Amino acid sequence: MSTNMNTAASPSPAASPAAQPGLLRTRRLADLDPADRRRLVVRSAVPDRAVRRAAAEICRSIEAGGDRALREAGAAYGGGRADPRVAPEEISAALEDTGRAVREALEAAIEAVRRHHLPQIPADHSHETRPGVRIDRRWTPLRRVGAYIPGGKASYPSSLVMTAAPAQAAGVAEIAVASPCGGDGRLDPTLLAAAALLGIDEVYAMGGAQAVAAFAYGTETIPRVDKIAGPGNAWVTAAKLEVFGVCAIDLPAGPSEVLVLADHTADPRLAAVDLLCQAEHGPDSPAVLVTTDPTLAAEVEAEISSLLPLLPRRDILRTALSAYGEVLIAEDIDEAAAFANAYAAEHVTVLTADAEQTAERVVNAGSVYVGRWSPESAGDYATGANHVLPTGGLARSHGPLGVEDFGSWRQVQTLTRRGLASIRPVIEELAAAEGLDAHRMAAAVRFEEPPPSHRRNPPPADHPTHPTHPTNPTNQEA
């Protein structure tokens, strides 16, 4: 799930609105020439260069100016206030004022996300590559994470749940939340209620590139974080890319997108509503139907026309569907699944006679929804699966946000004398081949008798010793 910004999103490969005779453009996959197919498939979550340059300037100003620059950026671009820190009392009050039904829905969502993510905690590994050469791979949770949650004109408390609950499951010690405030300087009370239920009391009213920069570089009053996670618009994505290297990020996110894969058995109304479900996120959200049935294509178009007047975001939907909506007719399921994998959509809904078998063939997707009883909104809110997903084709190499995103791996290598001796020739030969003699020496010197001036008294017998200590006379192996 990602949020969109009409003036800042990267162009979609779909045809421009002027070229569209109707809401959805219908073509046969077999009729696409290589250039047409490439325009459809090759997308990017990275914003255009103008946005990236502007976001970079904002980030540099925050790095240099700290709190003062953050206030100025908030006044200039919106989403901020003079004192960005939300008082804990305001967070508690928001929870108290939340209606029972909304609170219970938030609690159920948090519990489901925790149940899904707790089993994801990685296990440490230890093995010997040869006798006396042991490598441990140890996973450690991050210390401090910044969660960026879209806000301002809309509120996404579900995105806070999807970002913070996995971090907590991972064991992250500190979670700081940033979200843009409205014109009144206040954050959405449901978002604050979600923070209270999650036990988070560090919340800042700040948005856009300036919020990302504040988390990445730190200011006089906002401690820097180890990683920034959560969805955002093009400015947020551009800022994430700018600070990457100083601060880790989850992944760059583009406009939310959906691909519905359907055959002649699909209910056209379900296909239509699943296209609308993600297209309503913003006017630049791609929505693609791939079907083996030309009749279904026309029926889905008719259903969309009947559903649009019922939806409050119908103007956004009309813009998104006319600009970035596609219907692609496939010869068979093989061709349809092959295109779905090439497209690598954020959301893929499978509505076929053998939905589970078809879904197994979709290997490039952020999240796959199988069959008529699996709407995308279930994953967005209630199943416990994460809705922070790769967009813009990044599903070819990235997956949903998860526990493993909130920790890091360390390699711990422990060698005995015997182990080092067994690989010493490899070290010396490769070091010589690369002209790095100190590398060779680092291994060889351990087998030399140290001169008297370098000798140290051996530790007491009950003192633990490292097995490769060069002066330990007991470091011998059979």
Distance CA 51, CA 63 (A): 18
Sign of dihedral through CA atoms 210, 61, 239, 145? negative
Cα angle value 403/274/279 (rounded, 5°): 80
| Residues 6 or more apart in contact with residue 415 via CB below 8 angstroms | 132, 133, 134, 467, 468
Q: Which residue has the tokens 């530790």?
A: 459
| Active-site choice (116, 117, 281, 347) | 347
Residue type, 273: V
Distance CA 471, CA 452 (A): 11
> For 225, left (φ over 0), alpha (ψ -120 to 50), or beta?
beta
Distance CA 223, CA 452 (A): 50
Distance CA 182, CA 180 (A): 7
Query: How many Cβ atoms sit within 10 Å of the Cβ of residue 262?
Result: 27
Distance CA 289, CA 279 (A): 12
Active site residue 346: yes
C-beta separation of 289 from 321 below 8 A? no
Element of type H or E holding 328: strand 325-329
| Active-site choice (257, 301, 326, 346) | 346
3 state DSSP class of 261: strand
Question: Tokens at residue 266, please?
Answer: 């699909």
* Residues marked as catalytic: 346-347
